[in-house]
Amino acid sequence: MSSVEESRTALRPGPPPYLPGHELLTGRTAVITAAAGSGIGGATARRFLEEGARVVLGDSHTRRLRAVVAALAEEFGSRQVTGLPCDVTVEDQVTALFDLAEERHGALDIVVNNAGLGGTADLADMTDDQWDKVIDTTLTGTFRCTRAALRRMREGTGGVVVNNASVLGWRAQRGQAHYAAAKAGVMALTRCAAAEAAAYGVRVNAVSPSLALHPHLAKVTTPEVLAELTGREALGRHAEPWEVANVIVFLASGYSSYMTGETVSVSSQRA
């Protein structure tokens, strides 16, 4: 790196200050999948609570989910947050999660489909099992939860669904054929669901992050890969999970009332 490039890198700012809530989701009930832990789902749960929402969290990691729910309930109140173990590949567990939201709060206003599964394997060496696991969780799981949401929301006064896609739904990366195909499918599912749901006042959109770093991702990705991915970002840094969550808040709120069927890139990745 030249001295000029080093100087420019040094001048790039870090993450901005964390934003306070503005009551954008007050009185609304949200289901968020894969919401335990420190990733985008966990950050979204916290941002929703800070914006006044009641949240029902699902995650396949039971012990971690219980710890997250207990911590958030202590901070925001037990009325505002609850959770239920949910593997989005199991239809009965998806149904139970959505039933809990309606039983506890009487309505369902927002669904955030965050559950996804990754992995790395070149296509020629990829097994059917590796392909099927990623597709079933990341794409079919989003389908199951979107279907559950729409069946309920069409009987009420509307609602919002926000799906978590990825820039890999648009761009190629070696070893990610299954994940990229799943995320491209999430984008297509978002558009089709939006076209169908508009008739009963439901909006369906998606976010498409590039690199939002959190401890779990750091554990399953080498420092070399993370450095390469960070180097693609024009801002010279990865996103914080809460920066992606801020965009999810926007899509779930009235500020995006004329948006449906859209996938919003949350990325500074160079073309």
Q: Distance of alpha carbon 28 from its chain centroid, rounded?
A: 18
Structure tokens at 128: 């059917």
Q: Quick check: 182 and 228 in contact, CB under 8 A?
A: no
Q: Distance of alpha carbon 79 from its chain centroid, rounded?
A: 23
How far apart are the C-alpha atoms of 84 and 15, rounded to whole Å? 32
Beta bridge partners of 32: 57, 112
| Active-site residue (options: 179, 200, 255, 258) | 179
**What is the DSSP-derived secondary structure letter of residue 123?**
G
Q: Is 179 noted as a catalytic residue in this protein?
A: yes
Largest CA distance in the chain: 62
Kindly list the catalytic residues.
Answer: 179
